A and B are shown apart, each in its own frame.
Chain A
Amino acid sequence: IAGITQAPTSQILAAGRRMTLRCTQDMRHNAMYWYRQDLGLGLRLIHYSNTAGTTGKGEVPDGYSVSRANTDDFPLTLASAVPSQTSVYFCASRTGPNTEAFFGQGTRLTVV
C-alpha cells in the first residue's frame, strides 16, 4: 500500500544519546515535513524539504537536523537527546504546497 512509513513506532532513549527517526514515502512527493505533537501545544513544524537536496527550518528546529539525499527518504536526527524532546513525531509529504498532505503513523519517543 502506497504511503508514508515511519520507524521505529516507539522508542525509549537515554538522555545524551543520538537517535535517527526514519521516514520513507513511495508517492514520489517533492515536499516532506517533520512535526512534533505535544499535548497543549498542537503540531509544530521542525524541519521541511521542498525538494530533494534542499531543507529548511520550521518553528522548532533546535536540537534536530535533517537531510534529503533523495526523493523518498527524510530522516530526522537528534544529535544528543534531551527530555524535552519527548514527543510524538510525525512525518508528512505532499507533491507541492498547493496539494494534499499525507501523514505517517508517528513515532512515540520518550527521552529519560
Chain B
Amino acid sequence: KQEVTQIPAALSVPEGENLVLNCSFTDSAIYNLQWFRQDPGKGLTSLLLIQSSQREQTSGRLNASLDKSSGRSTLYIAASQPGDSATYLCAVTNTNAGKSTFGDGTTLTVKP
C-alpha cells in the first residue's frame, strides 16, 4: 500500500524567504506526482505535475523535483509572499488502477 508523508506539517516564514516543502512516498511504481494548493474552505488547485520519467517541473516561482528511486519530491518556492499562505498537498498516482494517494499536507504561513 502506497504511503505518502509530508514534512513539515506546518511552516512559518517571513516574506521574501525561499523555502522547500518535502514529500516522500513508499512505492516507486508511479505514473506521476502532483502538487496542489488548498486555501481554507476551498478545493484543491493544481500547481505542478511531474511525470515519472521527469526530474523537475517549473511554473513561475515554483519548482518541483522528483527522485523516484528514493521516493522523494520537493516543492521549492522562491521569494515567498503572504499570498502563498495555504496548505500544500502532494499526491502520487500509482500504476495500479491509476489511483492517487495524498499526503496530509504542509500548512504554510508567510508573514508580511
Contacts and interface: CB of A to CB of B under 8 A. Distances in A.
Contacts of A45: 99-101
Interface in A79-107: 90, 92, 96-106
A97 B95 CA distance: 8
A59 B24 CA distance: 20
A97 B44 contact: no
Interface residues of B, number: 24
Contact of B93 (A56, A90, A97, A102): A97
Contact of B46 (A40, A48, A56, A101): A101
A58 interface: yes
A102 B100 CA distance: 12
A50 interface: yes
Contact of B97 (A56, A100, A101, A106): A56
B46 A102 contact: yes
A100 B46 contact: yes
A106 B98 CA distance: 22
Contact of A96 (B43, B98, B105): B98
B105 A98 contact: no
A98 B51 contact: yes
B25 interface: no
Given A97-B93, A101-B91, A103-B43, A48 B99 contact: yes
Contacts of A35: 102
Contact of B44 (A40, A58, A90, A96): A90
A31 B31 CA distance: 15
B49 interface: yes
A108 to B, nearest CB: 8
11 contacts: A42-B103, A42-B104, A43-B102, A45-B100, A48-B97, A58-B99, A92-B44, A101-B93, A101-B100, A103-B36, A103-B46
Interface of B: 31-32, 34, 36, 42-46, 49, 51, 89, 91, 93, 95, 97-105
